[in-house]
Amino acid sequence: MTQGSAMLLLPNQITAAMITAGTSVPVVDSARGEVAWSIGTAYTGVETKINDGGKLWAAVAASTGVKPGTDTTKWRETGPSNRMAAFDDKLSTKSIGAGELKLVIKPGFFNGLALYGLVGEQLEITLRNTPGGTIIYQWIGDMFEQPFGLFEYLYMPLRQITKRLAADLAMGTDAELTIRITAAGTGVCGVGMVVCGFWETLLGTGEFGGVEYGASAEIKTYSYIKTEEDGSTSIVPRASATNINCSVVIDAEQANKAVDVLTQVLAKPVAIVLSGLPRYEYLNTFGLISGTATAETWRTAKLQITGKGFI
């Protein structure tokens, strides 16, 4: 990843067939209340967490032999299964494990990885050239930020690291990626989003400085204050998202490519990193990206980038 450049991670679609042996989350996770749909079972209309096709369904009317997803009067989709939660387009739906969460996937060709919504104590990322083969990339580390000073070290709880990015990964025709999160005892381990794909630069070269100062990250909460009839209030907690905004200076000759990249990702959620420099790690999000290209001079163009983060 070019330091100081703005990058988009164009994601591969991860299907159930790409999740392979060694994954700790079963296809139907009975430990989390999931029950496989059965063609011969008579459903009464009160069942929840029925697992079919990697999705969870709630019965809304009595039926027998009616496959979820084929009749909205019988079934309502309620979200992804625990196994597939890390591969949908929502950060708030997490694949969860107790003490350990291990995902083993074969995502095809990719050179970049982004993990969001991490929960746990230690993270291990391993990439092999073939299933069970030679390790060609590995990162192991704890999932807590280092304290800023002695006071934080002695008195403040360590802050959870919730995201991890990797770039310039070696590619293989049959590569196997393992993501393993652990925690002491039966501590919660989870990941809200696993994105494998290809990094595309919006900069082209670093000659003009890349992302300009003034780039911003807006942490937007969807929680709200509820007022009762008697005037009392309470906070209704909801998820939050990170929205980003920035200007990127590029060579005029790179403007056509940059606009083409932005066009490719219209209405497609992507990971975006506004700077590869460690001090600007907060300037990244996962969501929908839009932009405006302006011809500044004969030599330079400017992209105004807006990203609306997902929850």
- Same domain as 192, residue 153: yes
- Same domain as 18, residue 120: yes
Position 208 scores a pLDDT of 55
- Same domain as 179, residue 108: yes
- Same domain as 17, residue 147: yes
Tell which of 198, 216, 246 closes a domain.
198
Full domain range(s) for residue 268: 203-309
> Does residue 67 fall inside a structural domain?
no
Position 175 scores a pLDDT of 93
Picking from 211, 220, 201, the residue whose alpha carbon sits closest to that of residue 112 is: 201
Tokens at 149, concatenated? 């000073």
Please say whether the dihedral angle defined by the alpha carbons of residues 37, 26, 184 and 175, taken in this order, is positive or negative: negative
Q: Determine the Cα–Cα distance for residues 235 and 230; give it in Å rounded to an integer.
A: 15
Residue 1 has pLDDT above 50, yes or no: no
Residue 81 has pLDDT above 80, yes or no: yes
- Same domain as 132, residue 50: no
- Same domain as 162, residue 237: no
Domain count, the chain: 3
> Does residue 52 fall inside a structural domain?
yes
Position 264 scores a pLDDT of 84
- Same domain as 114, residue 44: no
| CATH code of the domain in which 191 resides | 2.60.120.260
- For 94, counting Cβ atoms within 10 Å of its Cβ (0-12 exposed, 13-18 middle, 19+ buried), the class is buried
Residue 290 has phi, psi (to 5 degrees) of: -135, 165
DSSP state for residue 202 in the 8-state scheme: S
Q: Determine the Cα–Cα distance for residues 306 and 73; give it in Å rounded to an integer.
A: 39
Number of C-beta neighbours around residue 178 at 10 A: 19
Position 203 scores a pLDDT of 59
- Same domain as 299, residue 211: yes
pLDDT tens-digit readout, 205-261 = 455 556 778 889 999 998 999 999 899 999 988 888 899 998 888 888 888 888 888
> Does residue 3 fall inside a structural domain?
no
pTM: 0.87
- Same domain as 194, residue 98: yes
**Residues 259-285: what's their mean pLDDT?**
83
Contact between residue 192 and residue 242 where contact means Cβ atoms under 8 Å apart: no
Tell which of 166, 198, 230 closes a domain.
198
Residue 271 has pLDDT above 60, yes or no: yes
Q: Determine the Cα–Cα distance for residues 48 and 79; give it in Å rounded to an integer.
A: 11
**Residues 179-202: what's their mean pLDDT?**
93
Assign 86 a pLDDT band (cuts: 50, 70, 90). very high
Q: Determine the Cα–Cα distance for residues 184 and 117; give it in Å rounded to an integer.
A: 19
